[in-house]
Amino acid sequence: MSLFREYFYRKAPDRLVEISERVYAFDCCFSNDVMGDDEYKQYLDGIVAQLHYLYPDTSFKVCNFRAEDQQSQISTLLSQYGTSVMDYPNQHESVPLLPLQVISQFLISSESWLGQQNVLLMHCERGCLPLLDFMLSALLLYYKRYHGDQKTLELAYNQAPKELLYLSSALNPQPSQLRYLGYISTRDLGSDWPPPEAPLVLDCLILRGLPHFEGVKDWRPSLRVLGQDHKAPANRSSILLFSTPKTNTIYQQVLS
């Protein structure tokens, strides 16, 4: 089936979702069904057979989004067909995103790969669907196959049951994802791509809809901000930049 029917009317190979020309996503990523090992192998075997029939002289590459502590089952199964699988971590700074530099490299390498008339396949492990949806949206905006950051992201999110999206995080990742999609959709308006890193100033944080606990006094939320250490730019790991004090204080914190 096709993900965006306004543009694509061709029938995609069985068990694949057509994203764009020669770009497909595995339909198991958008389903609540859980396959056993043998069923999953048969599933992949059937897809590979179809693709080799439809694209006999074409190379295939799979981009797989998974948790860092998981083994990549699809890499093992597809290695027998000589299909390369690129694994990407599911989260960056606890959000279903990738660093902007990695996103840029993914988009540029995908453009080169597809420019050689190859096929790109997108896959995610259980619980990694929000990142897959984001990367599909990023690819479509980068190629200008679709317009509107929020509309493109919502179309991708609507392909799967909502409860499947909640498996990865109880937090809503879309605000952060939309901010990154904005960098991609407006990349032609400036000379810098990806945009350089810049300090972030947190002036005010407004929390709404906080729970009320009967009989509990002096209850207040605790805020922790994680990010990179500006004093050690070569170190890309996160550190604790700020934590709310235990007293009622109005503050302004500058983050680098």
- By annotation, the residues acting in catalysis are 124
For the chain, the first-to-last Cα distance in angstroms comes to 45
Interhelix angle for 100-115 vs 129-142, to 10°?
60
Alpha-carbon distance 66 to 63, whole Å? 10
Answer whether 92's CB lies under 8 Å from 98's CB: yes
From the list 172, 94, 88, 189, the residue with the least C-alpha distance to 136 is 88
Peptide bond before residue 194 is cis, with ω within 30 degrees of 0 = yes
Answer whether 124's CB lies under 8 Å from 145's CB: no
